[in-house]
Amino acid sequence: MSVSPNQDGRCTHCVIPRTAAHATFNDDGVCDVCASAPPQSNMSEDKVRENAEALRKNIERIKEDGKNRPYDCVVGISGGRDSTYLLHELTRKHNLRCLAAYYRTPFTPEKCHQNVLRLTERLNTPLVNMNISQEVHQKIAREMVVLWAKTRKSVYANMACAECKIVNGEIFHIAKKNKAKWVVYGSNAVESFGGASWRRTSDGQSEGAADRRFSFSRQMSRMLKIAQKGTELLVLSPALWKYLWLMFRGSILYLSPDTPYLKLRYHSIHVLHYFYLAGWTEAGCENALKEVGWELPYGSGTSWRADCNYAAFKDYLFQETVGTTYYDSLLSNMIRNGMITREEAMRRLEVEAGVFPEKVKAAMDILDLPEGLSLPTLSTNDER
Ligand SMILES: [Zn+2]
């Protein structure tokens, strides 16, 4: 069923639904992020050249620093799309000697686990497992979903992912243990929820510049904002006091590889955010996936975030409380970045978006939720 852009219940520029709790809309039906976003031509040719030059220098430095060491860098992999793309580029394109660090979460689909084994074998990359407890992860996720069902507060749906934040600490730990001087990350600017990276900063610049975005001072102020928000949450949700350490660890210590804590603790290890300099393209990603024989896990409608069944479960919870999904945000960011048109995003929403019942059910099996929990009705894809 196709609907005209003005009547489809979404921002007329991007595809953020009008039901999204975090968005406001002006009289023309444009969401606040699009209204304040820099124009699509934001990335000038000069900037592209500048990034390419910065990337070249970084890769050179990584190789230089890797001399007489067992590895040039450590890369975290999940069996999902973007970490596969990253490891492929680093080994095949730049000939870096990578060490792959992997955490198989309770929510990693079997196919993604197989993807990890196949990928590291084909790229001839040694693989180490992170020391994170699946059992603790499952237990925390379960408790958080129970709290979500009682309160309908999205903070609990997010807190279920707290154990995955330790991944950032583990990657540095593994780098140190293996004497690697660099860790390379594969996040990219189109992934931010709610389009945070497209909002103009006070000086009117976009936040695309990796050097400023990940700077120590920026991260310090971010940390203070998170601490303030955390305090507000504790006042609103007393049940969270029990999880104070979990919140602190997940948000202050290990939220990203750029937290002041990680920078200070592992001051001799450098971080490269590869796709912020190299540019992330869908075509490049698909090509890499094909080359290494990556397979889409059962029940996934899109390769994005296919590596985590809880991500699908969270979208299912979010659709009710937040009125939008991460996939809406991804497509909207791609539109703002000039990567796809709004028409294409709408077409993709019809086939790829929504809640994937098989994945939600797989997550529910793992969560092993108590009887009688009040959860949203799970509609199948046909009913969408
Ligand atoms: Zn918009």
pTM listed for this prediction: 0.85
281, part of any domain: yes
60, part of any domain: yes
What b-and-e string marks burial along 159-186, b requiring 16 or more CB atoms within 10 Å of the CB? Answer: bbbbbbbbbbbbbbbbbbeeebbbbbbb
pLDDT for 59 equals 98
pLDDT for 213 equals 66
Distance 256 CA to ligand 1 centre (A): 26
Query: Backbone phi, then psi, for 364, in 5-degree steps?
Result: -65, -40
93, part of any domain: yes
Structural domain boundaries, residue 307 = 32-213+262-367
266, part of any domain: yes
> Could you report the average pLDDT of every consecutive run of 10 residues in the chain (384 residues)?
58 91 89 77 74 95 98 96 96 98 96 96 97 95 93 87 93 98 88 53 42 73 81 81 87 90 96 91 93 90 84 84 82 86 89 79 94 79 44
22, part of any domain: no
Distance 35 CA to ligand 1 centre (A): 7
Taking alpha carbons only, the member of 95, 151, 88, 123 closest to residue 317 is: 151
Q: How many domains does the chain have?
A: 1
pLDDT for 221 equals 81
pLDDT for 166 equals 93
* Angle at CA of residue 181, ends 215 and 62, nearest 5°: 85
Distance 382 CA to ligand 1 centre (A): 27
92, part of any domain: yes
Distance 333 CA to ligand 1 centre (A): 9
> SS3 for 125?
coil
pLDDT for 201 equals 39
CATH number at residue 44: 3.40.50.620
pLDDT for 1 equals 36
From CA 344, how far away is CA 340, in angstroms rounded? 6
308, part of any domain: yes
Distance 233 CA to ligand 1 centre (A): 28
8, part of any domain: no
